[in-house]
Amino acid sequence: RREALRQAFTTEDDVTAELATVPPALERGRLRLPDAVNAVVRDWFTLLRLETVQTPVAGRGREARSELPRPPSAAAMHQAGVPVRDVPYDRVARFWRSELLVDPDDGPLPDLVPLLEEGHGTQVIVARIGDPSGGRDCSDRPVAAAFTVHGVPFIFVNAAQPVALQRLTLAHAFAHLVLGHGDTVDGRLHWSRNAPLEAAANDFAEEFLAPVRAVRRWYERRARTHAPGVDDLLALGNAFGLTAWTALYRTRAALDPGPKHVQALRSELHRRERRLLARQAFLGGLRDTLSYLTPDATAHPGACGGPAVLHVPAVMRRRALAAVEHGRLSLEAAAAMLGRTPAALGAELALLGLE
């Protein structure tokens, strides 16, 4: 990384200062984020600074380096604001669907990752987090995090979870951002109503992913508004990108089938829980960036492979490409920042005409 930065910065002191630069939120360690996530955030800001560096003007020496105007930050759309209170959170979720140019009462949502990155300016990081002891278990906590560094909103999602849970935790983390909950790290999703911020984020996430009116219309089209079964829950989950359990909660909100029927569905889900993910994956369903990054949707969380950064924010890819094109970043350094091997990145750049 030092060698890569020497290409771009004027003096060795500049390089050392850049390597030592750590966003305050990460430096204090108050978020307790995985090291892989911290590294992506540092690289995000390094690439931003590299974007402001011009190639030296011939004959004027390295001191001729000039600063380009900083591009408008995607985070300009993000307003942390005051925590949203005394407002039905499902209504806030419909508002944000509308703000992101999605019908507030229809579903399912399009691909969540580009929707949040391009529509809201949230920088999404998807990574499998490895076992701190060096083992192969990548199901270790946290499952998600939402935080802001220098005004830029970030969301981290642990890809060790099944895809449907990744979608829910991504929407849950987005709720923490827009509801003004401050920086949060979720070791797991809490469903207790005794945790007000978690309950608010869950209410938002469920309506954001599957609005009640859309779920009701879905059942009406299938003529299954009375006594839906577990197979209906799986079909609903696949249509909206939900787990079977979340599909049950959405069904209860949309149809109100009665406590006895809900309890019967709960018992059936508990009985069949170990096979539900495999059955749901076999039936097919919503395909998006998260499902592309986690192709084995049925794998046990502890068997999903070694730790890896699977997705960095799209703006990092654009900045890294520009830096490589202008000779400000080596192929090896760019590959490390983007979570690729130099050979794989070189092959991709060759297709773009960059040898």
**pLDDT of 240 over the 90 cut:** yes
Predicted TM-score (pTM) of the model is 0.83
Enter the tokens of residue 350.
């060759």
The helix-helix angle for 331-338 and 342-351 (nearest 10°) equals: 100
Task: State how far the Cα of 319 lies from the Cα of 316, in Å rounded to an integer.
Answer: 5
pLDDT per position as a tens digit, 87-117: 788 889 999 999 999 998 888 898 999 999 9
Q: How many residues does the chain have?
A: 355
In sequence order, the β-bridge partners of residue 155 are: 124, 146
Confidence of residue 70 (pLDDT cuts 50, 70, 90): very low
Which residues are CB-contacts of 96 (< 8 A; sequence separation ≥ 6)? 174, 178, 208
Question: Mean pLDDT throughout 281-286?
Answer: 82
Enter the tokens of residue 33.
């984020």
DSSP-assigned letters across all residues of 207-229: HHHS-HHHHHHHHHHHT--SS--
**pLDDT of 167 over the 90 cut:** yes
